[in-house]
Amino acid sequence: MASRFGAAQVLVASNRGPVSYQVREDGSLHARRGGGGLVSGLSAIGPDAGALWVCSALGDGDREAVRRGVGEDGVRMLDVPADVHADAYNGIANSVLWFVHHMLYQTPLEPAFDAEFRRQWASYETYNRAFAEALAAEAAEGAAVLVQDYHLTLVPGMLRALRPDLRIGHFSHTPWAPVDYFRLLPDDIAEQVVRGMLGADRLGFLTRRWADAFTACCDAVAGGTGRVRIGVHGLGADAGFLRERAHRADVGERMAALRAEIGTDPGGRPRRTVVRVDRTELSKNIVRGLLAYRRLLTDRPEWRERVVHVAFAYPSRQDLAVYREYTAEVERVAREINGTFGTPGWTPVLLHVEDDFARSLAAYRLADVALVNPIRDGMNLVAKEVPVVSDEGCVLVLSREAGAFEELGPDALAVNPYDVTGTAAALHEALTTDPAERAARTGRLAAAATALPPERWFMEQLEALRG
Ligand code: G6P
| Among protein residues, the one whose CA lies closest to atom 16 of ligand 1 | 16
Determine which helix (DSSP H) or strand (DSSP E) holds 405, and give its type and residue range: helix 405-408
What does the pLDDT look like over 51-74, one tens digit per residue?
Answer: 999 999 999 999 999 999 999 999
401 confidence band (pLDDT: 50, 70, 90): very high
User: Which residue did the predictor score with more confidence, 441 or 43?
Assistant: 441
Residue 41 has pLDDT above 80, yes or no: no
| pLDDT for 2 | 55
| pLDDT for 385 | 97
Arithmetic mean of pLDDT over the chain: 96
Ligand 1 site, CB within 6 A: 16, 149, 173-174, 316-317
| Among protein residues, the one whose CA lies closest to atom 9 of ligand 1 | 149
Do strands 272-279 and 229-232 pair parallel, antiparallel, or not at all (unpaired)?
Answer: unpaired
Q: What CATH topology corresponds to 239-449? A: Rossmann fold (3.40.50)
| Among protein residues, the one whose CA lies closest to atom 14 of ligand 1 | 317
| Among protein residues, the one whose CA lies closest to atom 8 of ligand 1 | 173
- Among residues 378, 187, 189, 137, the alpha carbon closest in space to that of 279 is found at 378
**Test site for ligand 1: of 95, 173, 278, most ligand atoms within 8 A of the Cβ:** 173
- Among residues 346, 338, 384, 379, the alpha carbon closest in space to that of 364 is found at 384
| pLDDT for 42 | 78
End-to-end Cα spacing for the chain: 30
Determine which helix (DSSP H) or strand (DSSP E) holds 278, and give its type and residue range: strand 272-279
**Test site for ligand 1: of 146, 172, 284, 316, most ligand atoms within 8 A of the Cβ:** 316
Ligand 1 centroid to 297 CA: how many Å? Answer: 34
Q: Please tell me the distance from the alpha carbon of residue 158 to that of residue 133, in angstroms, as a whole number.
A: 8
What does the pLDDT look like over 381-397, one tens digit per residue?
Answer: 999 999 999 999 999 99
Q: How many CB atoms lie within 10 A of CB 263?
A: 13
What does the pLDDT look like over 153-208, one tens digit per residue?
Answer: 999 999 999 999 999 999 999 999 999 999 999 999 999 999 999 999 999 999 99
| pLDDT for 47 | 65
Q: Span 311-331, mean pLDDT? A: 97
Q: Span 42-50, mean pLDDT? A: 73
| pLDDT for 40 | 77
Question: Which ligand 1 atom is the nearest neighbour of the CA of 94?
Answer: 14
Q: Span 216-245, mean pLDDT? A: 97
Reported pTM: 0.97
In terms of CATH, what superfamily is 8-235+456-466? Glycogen Phosphorylase B; (3.40.50.2000)
Q: How many helices (H) and strands (E) does the chain have?
A: 19, 15
Question: Which ligand 1 atom is the nearest neighbour of the CA of 148?
Answer: 9
Residue limits of CATH 3.40.50.2000 in the chain: 8-235+456-466, 239-449
Residue 88 has pLDDT above 70, yes or no: yes
Q: Please tell me the distance from the alpha carbon of residue 350 to that of residue 362, in angstroms, as a whole number.
A: 14
